[in-house]
Structure formats: C-alpha cells, structure tokens
Amino acid sequence: MTLVNGHPAESVDALDRGLAYGDGVFRTLRTEAGQPLWWGDHYAKLAADCAALNLACPDEAPLRAEVCRVAEAGEGVAKIVITRGAGARGYAPPHHPDCTRIVLSAPLPAHAGPDAPDDVTARWCALRLARQPRLAGIKHLNRLENVLARAEWDDPAIFEGLLCDDSGAVIGGVMSNLLIAKAGELFTPDLSQCGVAGVARTRLLRALERHGIPHHIGRLLPDAILAADEVMLCNSVIGVRRVGRLDDVTWTPAGWTTTLNDALYEDVD
Amino acid sequence: MTLVNGHPAESVDALDRGLAYGDGVFRTLRTEAGQPLWWGDHYAKLAADCAALNLACPDEAPLRAEVCRVAEAGEGVAKIVITRGAGARGYAPPHHPDCTRIVLSAPLPAHAGPDAPDDVTARWCALRLARQPRLAGIKHLNRLENVLARAEWDDPAIFEGLLCDDSGAVIGGVMSNLLIAKAGELFTPDLSQCGVAGVARTRLLRALERHGIPHHIGRLLPDAILAADEVMLCNSVIGVRRVGRLDDVTWTPAGWTTTLNDALYEDVD
C-alpha cells in the first residue's frame, strides 16, 4: 500500500522536485506486527535530514500513523519519502514549498528474514564516492552513486559491495554501514565527507557507549578492514550481519556480531 | 502539456526510480513555432547520457514528435526526462527496466525572452561541487548541489551563481556553462570531474573550431575569471549571455558575446 500526502495513491505529480532533482530525503525501516521498529530514532533522523535540506518535516504522530496504516501484516519494510513537492521548472526552491510525503510498504526481503544466513559475502566496488560535506550523512534522494555501485555485480551470492571515497578511505556498504572489531575495540568510518549515517549505526554507537565498549569513528583504509578480527555490516532492515568473505579473504566468527545485534535491539531509550 | 510514455498525464508511478534515486537523465531545450531548436545536438547528448548510465534511450523520431506535440505556440521550453522506470525497492537496477519517458513544455522564462537584458549579474556560490568523474558532464537527475547552490541567494537581480569544485577550480554556473575571453582566446572549464557539459557549450566549441578562434578547455581559477576581458554564460535556453557584474567586479563589453551568439545559432550541421 502507498500513501501520498495521506491518501492511497499509486502516483506522484510529474513535476515533483523529488523526481526532477532528487530534492528530498527518505527513510527505510522495519515494521513488526504493524508497528515501526526504532521509530524514535527514525523520526529524529528524518527530522535532521529534512532540516539539513531546509525541508519541512511532517509532524511525528500522523506520520507514524501512516506507517502503521501501510505496514504489512507480520514483518515488513516501510519507506518514507519527503520531497520539496511540485514546482515550476528551475533549481530555485519555492519560497513556500508544499512538500510531498510518500509512505509505502514492502515485504521483508529474504536476505533480512529469519532464514537469512548468519554471515554474508561482500566485494570491493570500483566506484569511488565523491566527497561532498554539505550532503554527507544525509539519506537524500541523490543516490546514483549507490545505483552505479550496485550495478557492478549481478551474482546473488554477493550480499553487499564496499565503497571507498576518492581519497581511498573506506566509507561503508552500498546499502549498509560498516563496523570492524580489532583487539577488543570497534571502529566505524567517519561519514563527514560522504556516505549515509544510518539509524542502526547510530543505535550501535549509543549501545557501545552504554556498555563501555571502546569504539572509534575515523578514517579506515582497506588494509584495516582486511586486518580486522570481525567485519560487520548494519542497517535498519538487516540488523548487524557478519562478513564471512570479502572477495578472496575469509573470516571465522569472533563473537562480535552476536554481541552487537543484542545491543542493537535493546529497548532502553 | 505533459506526456508520460507518450500519453497525456500529470503524474508518474510513485515507485519510479527517478524519484527514489534520481536514477535518470534530462534535457531542457528551446522550442520555436512548435519545433525543437538544436535537436540533433540535444538528441546526441541525451543518447550519450543514457549510455553513460546504461539507460535505453528512446528512438529519435518518435521522441522528437513528442517534443513537437507538447511545444508551446511561439517560443517556449521543452523538457525531456528519462528514468530507469518503476522498480522494486533496492539500488540494484532491474535487468530489463521499463524506462519512463516524460516530455513536457513550459513558457519561455522572462530572462530568456526578447526583453532580457544583454548583460547579467552573477555571484560566487559558497557551495563547492564534489568531484565524481563517473557522473561528470552528465545531465542526470541528482541535482541537489544545484538546488543548494541556487538557494544561496534570493535577490532577483542576480541571474546566476558561479560554482567552484572542492579543489578551487571554477566549473560553471548553477544552470549554465561558463566561457571567458582573454587576449583574443577563449577558455572554458574542464568538466571531467564535475559539472554538466551542456549542448550550448558543445555547439560553441564546435563553432570556435570552425571559425579558427583559439580556445582551451582546462582548469580555471577564480582569478582567471576576474582577469578576463569578457565573462560569458551559456545554455540552451538563454544562448550566450555576458556577465556585466560578478559581486563587486564589473566589465564593459569586449564584443565576444555578440560574436559567440552569432556562432551559436549558425545552422551549418
């Protein structure tokens, strides 16, 4: 089911700036029994991303109600898209934009279901992410880099591609954030220049703080990934997933993925 | 009037990848008496941009017919958008995408009409363009940088903002390409790292070649702009326009704008 500005609809205005320029933001979240998971974090991130692009964020309660309304029975995925709405041709944002709000649901993908394997296979992508601090971290609708990176492979055995920026720093996966464990400490890439700072990553960083587990946000080079004790991917749909293979390199479990998954789902907020 | 996949329509599928990811390309062109101006160049650029993103480009004759069908009486603007179509959630491009084709018209903007002033005022933008060679030159739908740059000013007296990349090189205007004249030679920024290589620029470079006017594509720093004999902006809607003022710097005409406008509209191909 899809709601456009609160009404069941299949389509949006052909002049919408989300289509014309990718002028908007989005969220992908998990739903269980008709309720959004980690709603507070998702709404906070949506509000922050809207603010970063000077978009009006919808009010929280009615938006949550729309997510519940579209949610699949059982487990599923919901997506929220906020755009700057339809406008006249030209890049100049309207002074009083009438934002478009799209809320839709989809079945839980197989790779996120209960039968998904504990560990996944990843590869290095050839595409290098451009560094744009003005857009870094935001889950905006300008995602051609992700599309091109994802188009680099077609093998269904490969779950995710890892991306570096044009300085050679590892940023994360095409659709996930990256964490590594080394000698009892956790590391995740700095996302101040590019990448998306996802809600699962934010929740994990908070949990690490809460549990007193040493952790660092910084510049990570590919060698650091290869030398890690455990390499993990996370997002709001898959939770934390261990990388068992990265091209020709393999890892056996070091125990971190279970620890972090438990921490990720703690409901302490 | 708007045509979506050849049929009059006001809307597109809410799941279109053009909206979800900016996964597509577009063209803006001028129409006169129901006919597109510089059609051959526009179609060639559309085909090249589609190829760069592995999109199927529509056949030329029916696409041209759609542009003629939507075109305003008298002078106007037409826009063509090609997206990878509606698809399941996820960055992976469908194996056999059913591309969406949008063709629409708009009135000629006042700033491109016969009463528009010969010279325009520009400003420097604070935003720095990220360098992504994989997308540079392409007129794709990921245009948040342009939107943010255009949002930097609201003064209607300012026609255009000039953008540098994060290395400090001048790339062009928010909606136009840049050329400068200095000591009898013309210079325009290299667009291999970012920016859009517009059809007007391409036509001008070809005309300069044809007329034996020395010209260079390369790295231009802001000081070179300020030291130019004449600074010009071009695109398919405005033609060539002289910059009379750039923040606090002013120029008097050196004659190049007239020469280049004449060359731009030569119909020799």
Location of structure tokens 């036509």? B203
Whether the per-residue pLDDT at B269 is higher than 70: the answer is: no
Question: CB distance from B192 to chain A under 8 Å?
Answer: no
Put simply, the chain B residues between 118 and 147 with a CB less than 8 A from any chain A CB are 127-132, 134-135, 140-147
**Shortest distance, CA B73 to any CA of chain A (angstroms):** 18
Residues B11-66 have pLDDT tens digits of 999 999 999 999 999 999 999 999 999 999 999 999 999 999 999 999 999 999 99
Q: Is the pLDDT of residue B78 over 90?
A: yes
pLDDT for A269 equals 56
DSSP string, chain A: -EEETTEE-SEEETTBHHHHH--EEEEEEEEETTEETTHHHHHHHHHHHHHHTTPPPPPHHHHHHHHHHHPPSSEEEEEEEEE--B--SSSSPPSS---EEEEEEEEPPGGGSTTS-SEEEEEEEEEEE---TTTTB--BS--HHHHHHHTT---TT--EEEEEETTS-EEEESSSEEEEEETTEEEEE--SSSSB--HHHHHHHHHHHHHT--EEEE---HHHHHT-SEEEEEETTTEEEEEEEETTEE----SHHHHHHHHHH----
Report the C-alpha gap between A165 and A220 in whole angstroms. Answer: 11
B242 touches chain A (CB under 8 A): no
Q: Can you give the pLDDT of all 269 residues of chain A as single tens digits?
A: 999 999 999 999 999 999 999 999 999 999 999 999 999 999 999 999 999 999 999 999 999 999 999 998 899 999 999 999 998 779 999 988 999 999 999 999 988 888 888 899 999 999 999 999 999 999 999 999 999 999 999 999 999 999 999 999 999 999 999 999 999 999 999 999 999 999 999 999 999 999 999 999 999 999 999 999 999 999 999 999 999 999 999 999 999 999 999 999 997 75
Q: What is the pLDDT of residue A89?
A: 74
Q: Is B68 on the interface with A (CB under 8 A)?
A: no
Q: B89 contacts in A (CB within 8 Å)? A: 28, 77, 79, 106, 109
Chain A CB contacts of B15 under 8 Å are 2, 104
Query: The pTM is what?
Result: 0.97
Q: Average model confidence (pLDDT) for chain B?
A: 96
Q: Tell me what pLDDT residue A118 has.
A: 84
pLDDT at position A142 is 98
H or E element, residue B61: helix B60-70
Q: Would you tell me which residues 83-102 of chain B have a C-beta closer than 8 angstroms to some C-beta of chain A?
A: 83-84, 88-93, 102
Tokens of B239: 């033609």
Please tell me the predicted confidence (pLDDT) of residue B116.
85
Chain B CB within 8 Å of residue A181 CB: no
| Domains of chain A and any CATH numbers | 2-108 (3.30.470.10), 119-265 (3.20.10.10)
Residue A75: CB partners within 8 Å, gap ≥ 6? A30, A31, A32, A108, A113
Residue A147 pLDDT: 98
Contact B14 A2 (CB under 8 A): yes
Chain A positions touching B10 (Cβ under 8 A) are 13-14
Does any CB of chain A come closer than 8 Å to the CB of residue B11? Answer: yes
